[in-house]
Amino acid sequence: MRVLVTGGAGFIGSTFVRRALGGAEPTLAGAEIVVLDKLTYAGNEANLAPVSGQPRLRFVKGDITDGQLVRDAMRGADAVVHFAAESHVDRSIVGADPFVVTNVVGTQILLQAALELGVGRFVHVSTDEVYGSIEAGSWAEGHPVEPNSPYSASKAGSDLLARSYTRTHGLDVRVTRCSNNYGPYQHPEKMVPLFVTNLLDGQPVPLYGDGLNVRDWLHVDDHCRGVAQVLERGRAGEVYNIGGGTELSNRELTGRLLAAVGADWSMVSPVTDRKAHDRRYSLDWTKIRDELGYEPVVSFDEGLTATVRWYADNRQWWEPLKHGTAVAP
């Protein structure tokens, strides 16, 4: 079996690749993994260092908007798992162009190549942010997409393209929508690693607005486990929410991060809230639990403790990445 993993040098994609090649996903045992990654600021070959010597790994540097390169990399693949995306909301507010090009155009190029090459399965990895904001309750997969940022709008557009390739062409595309990920190897522009690395350096952390925006937190290992289950047993044309089951306000999360590194609230600097900052995300992941047997297995306390420890022990990984990182979480 050969699987093309786009964005496989990024945070979530590289976790999926390490798990696949390291034996954590039995259904991918023996599979050849082809990673296609442009190596933007968020992609890092060092993320693949633990499996770089594996003969089943092949790395292709390139852009998913390059049609010929995509077809060359995809040729012979039995499945595609599509993680590649521009993903940082603040960057999309500053400039939306790369989000539309990569997330919408790039996804269409991948879908068309998969159709032409007869790829059997295509998993399109998306986000809960496409649903917008919810005051109470949780989104099921049938909820309309109502994105509020250029980033989430570009992901919603890519989701709809994925749907169209199943409905129009019969391509087997399965869409996943995850909640907020955390874990090792996450770029330090995102909230958890930004706060942790700032605090480890004795620097203050920027907390948006009143800090009461709520997110559901999902360990990256659990997310990748869910993606692998969708790849193995998901149904064509279906959407699967992948949640973590731990809803926290940003203020609550900040308190836990402060405690984890032995800091206090004097290290918190309130900053002006983000434009159109969604108040609350919450996923109903009953469908993937009932159909595929998904359950998150990494408790939030255990996962957060291990994540903080990883950043404390891996300064050589994140210190170079913090130079030039000028956006808040």
pLDDT at res. 72: 98
DSSP letter, residue 145: P
Q: Which of 282, 286, 283, 289 is nearest to 233 (CA)?
A: 289
Q: How far apart are CA 126 and CA 242, in angstroms?
A: 10
| CA torsion through residues 224, 229, 235, 236, sign | positive
Q: Which fold has domain 2-181+220-242?
A: Rossmann fold (3.40.50)
The pLDDT, as a whole number, for residue 103 is: 97
Task: Provide φ and ψ at 12, rounded to 5°.
Answer: -75, -45
Cα(125)–Cα(73) distance, rounded to whole angstroms?
19
| pLDDT per residue as tens digits for the range 20-56 | 999 999 999 999 999 999 999 999 999 999 999 999 9
Please write the tens of the pLDDT for every residue from 130-167. 999 999 999 999 999 999 999 999 999 999 999 999 99
Catalytic residue among 131, 151, 165, 240: 151
Domain boundaries, the chain: 2-181+220-242
Query: Which among 292, 308, 309, 279 is positioned nearest to 132, based on CA atoms?
Result: 279
Q: Does the annotation count 185 as an active-site position?
A: no
* 265 pLDDT more than 80: yes
Model confidence pLDDT, tens digit, residues 16-26: 999 999 999 99
Out of 25, 63, 86, 128, pick the active-site residue. 128
Cα 88 to Cα 3: distance, rounded to the nearest angstrom: 26
159 is catalytic: no
Number of H helices, E strands in the chain: 12, 12
pLDDT for the residue 34: 98
Q: What's the confidence (pLDDT) of residue 320?
A: 93
Whole-number average pLDDT of the chain:
96
The pLDDT value recorded for residue 324 is 55
Whether 201 sits among the annotated catalytic residues: the reply is no
Q: Helix 300-313 vs helix 250-261: angle between axes, to the nearest 10 degrees? A: 50
Active-site residue, selected from the candidate residues 63, 129, 189, 247 = 129
Give the model confidence (pLDDT) of 58-79 as tens digits. Answer: 999 999 999 999 999 999 999 9
CA atoms of 54 and 50, how far apart (whole Å): 9
Give the pLDDT score at 88: 87
Interatomic CA distance for residues 43 and 35, integer angstroms: 11
DSSP-assigned letters across all residues of 62-74 = --TT-HHHHHHHH
**Phi, psi at residue 247, to the nearest 5°?**
-95, 125
CB within 8 Å of 221: residues ≥ 6 apart: 15, 19, 24, 183, 297, 298, 303
Q: Examine the pLDDT at 81 and tell me if it is beyond 80.
A: yes
Instruction: Supply the pLDDT for residue 329.
Output: 34
* Model pTM above 0.75: yes
